[in-house]
Structure 1
Amino acid sequence: MVDPTTSTGTGSENAKNHFSKAVEEAKAGAQALAGELTSECKTRSGDARDKANAFASDAKVKATGYAEDGKAKASQAIVGLSRLIDENAGLIDEKVGAKYGEYVRSASKTLADAGTRLDEKSLDELSEEAREFVRKSPGLAVGMAVATGFVLARLFKGK
């Protein structure tokens, strides 16, 4: 006959050993899986970061190109407005007087100079000048922004 205490004790120990081995294997498997997942996450986050950096770089290049085009068009528009005003200065001389014609010519020259300065400066220089203006005169800057917004709203509201 088999002694129940001995077989139970041996069966219990065997079960404990099997359970301990299973727990150790599960821990090892979990650690290996965690390592694989961490590696995969690092790889994917690196890829995403690279893609985001490439996208940001492309966006910056395009934005700079659009800003340069806008600066050139604004400069051309200012110079064109200056010419138009200058061409009509004679009419103002006739209708209102020579004194006012000179005011118009002076304004025309100021606009032409502003257009030329705008064309000669880089975007970085213009940006720094704008920042400096806002630092020195924040109230005036806000007022100009509000006035510009109002004018643009009126212009686009009619369309």
Structure 2
Amino acid sequence: MTPAPTAGKEAKAKFAKAIEEAKAGASALGTQVQDTAGAYREKMVDQGEALIEEAKAAAGQAKEKAAALAQEGKARAVDGIATVSKLVAENAPVIDEKLGAKYGDYARSAAKSLDQTAAKLEAKDLGELGDDAREFVRKSPALAVGIAAAFGFFVSRLFRGSPKSDD
């Protein structure tokens, strides 16, 4: 019956060795998991930075495109105002004949005012125009909304009424 205590000691030693091996394996696995997580973290940070750079580049391109479109819109507005001014001025003599000199003078005055407005608009850069618009809206918000609504209605009627070209 002496072999039983030796077998118990051997079992305990084997069990202790197995526990030590399991601890060592768990420690090695933990280190490997931390290394892998660190590598993934670095990869994600790099990808995030790359995405941020791409977004900044796209925003810059969009800003340039918007500035170009705004400049084109400003030029078209100046041309449109100048065209209306010219039409009013050219029709002032007809107004003189049909309605009287007083109304013809009103037309000439309106044409002159439109010319001045076109010149002022052309002389200002987009930043100044934006500042002017913000100041106008701050001073007269109801009037600004009314003008925007009227302008929107006018533009929609203008484009709805124009024939489409096949060119």
TM over 0.5: yes
Task: Give the TM bin, normalised by the shorter chain.
Answer: over 0.9
Which has the larger displacement, 7-16 or 91-100? 7-16
Give identity over the alignment, percent.
40
1:30 and 2:33 correspond: yes
Q: TM-score under structure 1 normalisation?
A: 0.94
Q: Distance in 2 between matches of 1:151 and 1:85?
A: 18
1:80 and 2:83 correspond: yes
- Change in Cα spacing, 1:156 to 1:86, as seen in structure 2 (3 Å) is closer
Work out the number of aligned pairs and report it: 159
Unaligned runs of 5+ in 2: 163-167
2:24 counterpart (17, 21, 32): 21
Which residue does 2:149 correspond to in 1? 146
1:49 counterpart (47, 52, 66): 52
Which residue does 2:119 correspond to in 1? 116
> Cα RMSD between the aligned structures?
1.4
SS at match of 1:132: helix
Q: Distance in 2 between matches of 1:157 and 1:49?
A: 42
Q: Distance in 2 between matches of 1:128 and 1:6?
A: 90
2:92 counterpart (89, 92, 103): 89
Q: Distance in 2 between matches of 1:117 and 1:82?
A: 14
Unaligned runs of 5+ in 1: none
SS at match of 2:88: helix
Q: TM-score under structure 2 normalisation?
A: 0.90
Which residue does 1:59 correspond to in 2? 62
Q: Distance in 1 between matches of 2:149 and 2:140?
A: 14
Q: Deviations over 1:43-71 (max 9, x none)?
A: 00111011110111011111111111110
* Higher relative contact order (Cα pairs below 8 Å, separated by 6+ residues): 1
